[in-house]
Amino acid sequence: MALESQRVDKWLWFVRVVKSRSLAARLVAEGHVRLNGKRIDAPARPVGRGDVLTIALERQVRVLKVLGFSERRGPFAQMKQLYEDLSDGS
């Protein structure tokens, strides 16, 4: 069964944007994540295919388009296929 959406904190952790799910949840709760241009503060907010996440990290801002989902966290090369990086300079 293919997933159609996933919690934003799980997705960020699974695709290796952050090192832990709790860090992903904190990023969202503190307002450092935008979903399709709108700031979100709920780590349980679902993201779907085609959604664009803007994540303000310590040293960079990443803009990622959601292409797919995973049931678990896997190797970087595999997880990289779940998004398109729209960040400047990529």
CA distance 75 to 90: 20
| CA end-to-end span of the chain | 32
Query: What's residue 1's pLDDT?
Result: 53
The values of phi and psi at residue 53, to 5°, are -105, 130
CA distance 70 to 10: 9
How long, in residues, is the chain? 90
Using a pLDDT cut of 70, give the percent of the chain over it. 96
Q: Which domains does the chain have, with CATH numbers?
A: 5-85 (3.10.290.10)
pLDDT range class, residue 89, cuts 50, 70, 90? low
